[in-house]
């Protein structure tokens, strides 16, 4: 399938084009703001479907909106009529069409043009009135406020907002692109097309989340960024980091036994660390009532010893970095680990809870 994208150099189009290029069964045809209008008829003639993203969202007068939105869509529809194949069209419109502004009127007129094309030809036309779209590659100060906040916070600039309680309806650019591809592939009948994944939040909540992402480099406490809005915001925020901010240093605590480094702390899934030990060094010698840990030797040879603190039952485990094997600590068993190799021992450690100095649940007990 050959898909023509108008406005192919815009915010949504950048992600959409990348996702389409990843598909071996799809060829992308691009028409950009700077393209020669004389090339558009040939592109329509080659296309099997159209994703209409071209438009103007900033103009000094109403004429600019009319020409960039309504008139260009009329030009495109005229070529679709002339082509005679009733090509399917996906259009990105705006939620603001319900508001009486020059921009809103121009988008509404563009919608009516494509609806008329659908009625006259039987073509499938999907018009998405999108709420605020956010994600990577949006232009700060132009495409979305979230892009501006991400850039400013990522570069250490101050951000203030007038109304933290302002309600926001948001869709993530990757979800928008996936939905556009889905409808062109499946051609469902949709009376009111919408992106199925939509988020509701407040300006203050979004801004606080972005600030927490930056602060996590100092606190090592990363929010729950694996799902939902926080996942999308986290990916968006990171996309605005300048390359010289792609890495950051974390504290290293060392003594005669070796080094201990906390890497990452989470709100609900514990924390990740690693430690080292020189040849013959033993670390540990304690038990926990509820805390559990997973150890993985990355380099070297280790001897784990366990003793049940009530029954006295003992157990031993030998492991090394060549054979990945997770060793778990069990509540009520005191344990230690000794480097029995001739090189530095490096061990990755996960604990199910973030260390709390007031309630460490770590009781010294020799084996």
Residue 318 tokens, joined: 């030998």
Q: Quick one: CA dihedral 107, 109, 115, 117, positive or negative?
A: negative
Q: Nearest-5° angle of CA 56, CA 73, CA 136? A: 45
One of 31, 103, 128, 237 is an active-site residue; which one? 103
Alpha-carbon torsion angle 317, 323, 326, 329, nearest 10: 20
- For residue 365, give every residue at least 6 positions away whose Cβ sits within 8 Å of its Cβ, in sequence order, or none: 285, 286, 287, 307, 309, 334
Q: For residues 295 and 277, is the Cβ–Cβ distance under 8 A? A: no
- Could you tell me the two tokens for 328? 């778990």
> Is position 103 annotated as part of the catalytic site?
yes
Strand 333-339's sheet: what is its strand order? 314-320, 301-308, 333-339, 282-287, 363-364
Would you say the C-alpha torsion 114, 119, 123, 124 has a positive or negative sign?
positive
Catalytic residues: 103
């Amino acid at each position: 399938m050959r898909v023509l994208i108008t406005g192919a150099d815009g915010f949504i189009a950048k992600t959409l084009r990348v996702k389409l290029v990843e598909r071996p069964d799809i060829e992308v045809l691009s028409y950009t703001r700077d393209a020669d209008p004389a090339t558009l008829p040939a592109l329509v003639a080659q296309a099997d479907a159209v994703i209409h993203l071209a438009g103007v969202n900033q103009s000094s007068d109403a004429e600019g909106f009319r020409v960039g939105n309504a008139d260009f869509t009329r030009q495109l529809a005229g070529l679709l009529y002339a082509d005679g194949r009733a090509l399917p069209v996906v259009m990105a419109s705006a939620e603001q069409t319900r508001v009486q502004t020059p921009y809103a009127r121009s988008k509404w007129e563009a919608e009516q043009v494509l609806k008329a094309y659908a009625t006259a030809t039987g073509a499938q036309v999907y018009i998405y009135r999108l709420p605020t779209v956010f994600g990577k590659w949006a232009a700060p100060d132009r495409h979305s406020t979230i892009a501006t906040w991400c850039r400013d916070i990522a570069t250490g600039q101050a951000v203030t907002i007038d109304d933290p309680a302002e309600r926001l309806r948001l869709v993530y650019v990757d979800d928008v692109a996936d939905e556009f591809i889905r409808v062109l592939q499946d051609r469902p009948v949709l009376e009111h097309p919408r992106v199925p994944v939509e988020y509701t939040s407040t300006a203050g909540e979004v801004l606080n989340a972005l600030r927490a992402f930056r602060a996590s480099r100092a606190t090592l406490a990363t929010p729950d960024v694996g799902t939902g809005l926080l996942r999308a915001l986290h990916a968006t925020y990171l996309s605005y980091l300048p390359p010289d901010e792609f890495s950051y240093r974390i504290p290293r605590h060392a003594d005669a036994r070796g080094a201990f480094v906390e890497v990452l702390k989470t709100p609900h899934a514990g924390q990740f660390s690693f430690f080292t030990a020189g040849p013959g060094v033993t670390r540990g010698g304690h038990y926990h009532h509820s805390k559990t840990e997973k150890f993985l030797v990355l380099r070297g040879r280790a001897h784990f010893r366990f003793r049940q603190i009530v029954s006295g039952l003992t157990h031993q485990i030998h492991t090394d970095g060549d054979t990945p094997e997770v060793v778990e600590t069990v509540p009520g068993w005191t344990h230690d680990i000794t480097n029995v190799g001739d090189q530095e021992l490096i061990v990755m450690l996960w604990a199910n809870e973030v260390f709390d100095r007031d309630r460490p649940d770590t009781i010294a007990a020799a084996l």
